Structure 1
Amino acid sequence: MKGIQGHYNSCYMDSTLFGLFACSSVLDSLLFMATHRQEAAIQTTLLQQIVNPLRRYGFVPSCNVMKLRKQLQQEGYSDHTFATDEKDPEEFLTLVVQKILQLDPLLKLTAEGKVQENSCYQIFLDQKHTLVLPTVQQLFEHSLHWSGLALAEIPSCLILQMPRFGKNFKMFDKIIPSLELDISDILSESPRECVLCGELAGLACADCFTDPTFGRTGFKLFCLTCSEKVHLHPTRKAHQPSRVRLPKGYPQGARPPLPREKLQLFAVLCIETSHYVSFVRHGPRPQDWLFFDSMADREGDQDGYNIPQVQECPEVERYLQMSPAELACQLPREMEGVAKRLFCDASMYLYQSPSMCLYR
């Protein structure tokens, strides 16, 4: 009896809560921020009956989660099926984080000077993409490039929804987890390096994004000199590089190397046949992974109860260290332990910024 006990279609909520709070404090501000009286009851249940016992005793009974589900339903925040039916983690997060507790938006994106705010980011891809066995880094970059978006600021918590259609169809057979997400070239106002010479970049070329000359994927930034030379090539003369905006007050004479902004992966939510589970990183080493299933076993029939399970899964490290070619050859049914579920069934990736966590 470890983790959060599941009951009556609660796996989406159990896995989300375990992923967010078991080994990370990035959203602890939700638990202590000032709220109105109506919202305070939900916040108290979340803190005192779910997060505190999870961290202190390592176990939360199903009645505690059911109390939260009924509160969300009774207070009129959601439809009358919230305590009975299966939902999506995104629906639960949007309801609690955005609508009820009204935390400042976790994600701010910019497009043509306009800022968009949300709590999650759904990855969409151009139908002409050439990705076969992508990393999360590649998926995020491709999606932002195709949508013409950039990060307006460094998020303390970044929640990425993988490209899926419903609960069954997956766009990719496997997705490689990026343990670190480099967002340096995705920020709208940030000093960046020229991809060729390493000097301070002054121009970004969206048309060079998929040019194999500079790497198969990734944003391409150039200093003025390199950009001029690169775009003398007949295949690139029609490209239209855009100016890189620097933060106000950034010293003009600053020289690389420039610091890289990276987010750390701390949890992954996975779904297979309508059942959610989660993987959580509990340490800095590649083998420091926990697997959580709120309904891993059951005692009794209709009058019985579910038995949740938390287990170490160091076998994940073996697959993380494989080359893409090796990983592509791995048959899901033959993958060791629960690794298949991480690589083949990922639905949502959760990242945190170690530096921004201190301020939000």
Structure 2
Amino acid sequence: MSALFESITLRELTIPNRVWMAPMCQYSAAPEGPLAGAPADWHFAHYAARAAGGTGLIVVEATAVSPEGRISPYDLGLWNDTQVEAFRRITGFLSSQGTVPGIQLAHGGRKASTDQPWKGGAPIGPEAHGWQPVAPSAVPFDERHPVPTELTVERISEIVGQFAAAARRALAAGFEVAEIHGAHGYLVNEFLSPHSNHRTDDYGGSYENRTRFALEVVDAVRAVWPEDKPVFFRISATDWLQDGGWTADDTVRFAGDLHAHGVDLLDVSTGGNASGATIPTGPGYQVPFAARVKAGTPLPVAAVGLITEAEQAQKIIANGEADAVLLGRELLRSPSWARQAARELGGAVRVPDQYHRSV
């Protein structure tokens, strides 16, 4: 059996293989009205195709814990029960195909209130369904973005509660994995990094203070998430800055903290918090960061970043660099990538009866 197609058990949840779908925003929900933030036909078709293609775990795109936590007005959300009902259609189908449904809970922070990327992705105001972003500090992401409102301690506590409430709704919607989005320059990541966190209170300055908000979110989600189901955390392992940013050493240290607070797997990405940072990309360019966490902590990890070939993914798992791979753009191009990789590597995935002629 190919290592890529061995099952993995986290707490009491067994995921049938190590080919997972990374969360990728579709920017396709209604921006306002009774169905704002709710998944629609596009989302169902999008995720259903990857489940039918044999993907072991699908982590549904960044889903906002509040309306102002959306990256764009067109993002998914879990701040009301109408959204819960809409998600059940997706989780039910994924489960019927043997795919584990997961969801990424998120808050956009200072990078919120932007347009759809195919329209340029620029910050937008109230005239285009936008709003005033918030952040740990009144420091804009770049010259295009507005100066965000610095969060008060009371608002920080409120957002922690919103993560917990969204996790409760995710459970009611049928999700089996909850992932906290702590990467790519969004709110949790903004608190972690000294590049974006200039606070002088208990939420800024020292490593312990800058990680406080993230750990409070983890504790709040873990408190409402069942003991037998796993919680993931997605992290940007480095800001890719020479100094003044979050580093790979910080990530290894923080992985130990996350493990102690009940996180079951670290989803290791990089970048997104420092505008203009130079990032040396290439096939598997982020895998070494995942491998370093895996070697230095007891926390399981998933690797991401230009993983496109079956043999490449197989080696990452077989060499012990990661416990799973999360594919992004490659699954957009090839919804049945897992089934094709299984054929190439001699593995096995569930094939829908309707597709039996493709075996």
Asked if these proteins are the same fold (TM beyond 0.5), I'd say no
Query: Which is strand-richer, 1 or 2?
Result: 1
Return the TM-score normalized by structure 2: 0.24
Query: Which is helix-richer, 1 or 2?
Result: 2
Larger Rg: 1
Return the TM-score normalized by structure 1: 0.24
